Structure 1
C-alpha cells in the first residue's frame, strides 16, 4: 500500500507519531537516499514498533545514510531495544551524534524527520505536539542547513557496539 503525505500542520501526539510512521514508510517507498533525525531523546518516537522497523529495513541499502542527532541516547537504549538491535545490524548506514541543547537554537524545531528532496516533518512544540509537514523546496533547504549546523557542532555518540579494553 503506497503512502501519500499530506502537507500541513499536525496537532497532537497521536497524529505526530502517525506522521513519523507515514514519513518513514514514504521515504522507503520513494527511495530517499538520506534520512535526518533530530530529537532531544527520541523517547516519544515509535522506534521499536514493527511497522517502523520494517520501513527502516526496506529503506536501508548500502548507499543510504541515516543521520541521527540527539541531546542524549539513554532513552533510546532503554525504551527502544528493537531499534537498538536494528542499529547494530545496519551500522553501515547509521551515523549518530550528540548535540548540546543550546546548539538547536531558540525558535527552531525540537524534533525533525527529514528525507531531503522528499519532505520534512518538524516538531515545533513538544508540549502541545504541534508539528509541520512540508514538501516544499524552501523548507527542505532551511531544514537541511539548520540540521547540518547542529550536526557540525555535535560529537559522535550511540555507537553500534561498546568495545572493552
Structure 2
C-alpha cells in the first residue's frame, strides 16, 4: 500500500479514502493535458477550492484558446457555495469551460475525471471513498459513456450571473 492508500501500479490501481481521492484529482489537474472531462453529482469530495489546484489550473489555462473543459453535475450549488476559488476560476476562464447539468431522469456515468490518456473513476462503496485509475480500453469506454450522457445534459453553472 502506498501513500495514496492504493495498491499496485497502472490501470485499475485502487484509490482508497477521501484524502487519496482528492490527491489523485490534484495529481490529474496538476498536468491535465489538452482536454478535461469530469462528472460528479455535486463535486462535494473534490479539492476544487484548494489554492494549489487553482494555481495549476491557472497555469494550464493560460495557453488555451478554445473550450477544453467539460464539467457535468446533477447540481452545481455545492461548487458555488463551497469552492469560491474554483467559481472565480470558472469565470476567468469561461472561454475554456463548458458546464452542463444532468437532469435526474437520466442515468449518470461513474463519477470521473477523464483526460486524454489517463483517468480516475469512482467505484461504489458504502464504507469509504473508493476509486480506480484507468487508461487504454477502460478510459476509452469511460469517455464514450461520458460523451453519451453529455448529449442528454443541458447547459448549467453559467460563468456570469445575469440580472437586472
Fold match (TM-score > 0.5)? yes
Match for residue 145 of structure 1?
144
How far residue 101 of structure 1 moved from its aligned partner, in angstroms, is: 4.1
Match for residue 44 of structure 1?
45
Match for residue 124 of structure 2?
125
In 1, are the aligned partners of 2:15 and 2:130 still within 8 Å (CA)?
yes
* Residue among 16, 24, 31 paired with 1:19: 24
Give the TM-score, by structure 2 length.
0.86
Q: In structure 2, the residue corresponding to 1:91 is in which secondary structure?
A: coil
How far residue 103 of structure 1 moved from its aligned partner, in angstroms, is: 2.7
Match for residue 3 of structure 2?
none
Q: Is 1:55 aligned to 2:53, yes or no? A: no
Q: In structure 1, the residue corresponding to 2:114 is in which secondary structure?
A: strand
How far residue 63 of structure 1 moved from its aligned partner, in angstroms, is: 3.6
Match for residue 92 of structure 1?
95
Give structure 2 stretches of 5+ with no counterpart: 1-8
In 2, are the aligned partners of 1:33 and 1:64 still within 8 Å (CA)?
no
Corresponding residue pairs, total: 151
Give structure 1 stretches of 5+ with no counterpart: 1-5
Q: In structure 1, the residue corresponding to 2:44 is in which secondary structure?
A: coil
Match for residue 69 of structure 1?
72
How far residue 102 of structure 1 moved from its aligned partner, in angstroms, is: 4.8
Please list the CA deviations of residues 83-113 of structure 1 after superposition, one character each: whole Å capped at 9, or x if unmatched.
10110000000000000345335xx52x111
Structure 1 pair 35–145 and aligned structure 2 pair: CA distance change class (3 A): same
In 2, are the aligned partners of 1:33 and 1:63 still within 8 Å (CA)?
no
CA distance in 2, matches of 1:78, 1:57: 20
How far residue 57 of structure 1 moved from its aligned partner, in angstroms, is: 1.1
Structure 1 pair 63–57 and aligned structure 2 pair: CA distance change class (3 A): same
In 2, are the aligned partners of 1:69 and 1:96 still within 8 Å (CA)?
yes
Which has a greater percent of strand?
1
- Which runs of structure 1 show a deviation greater than 3 angstroms over 4 or more consecutive aligned residues? none
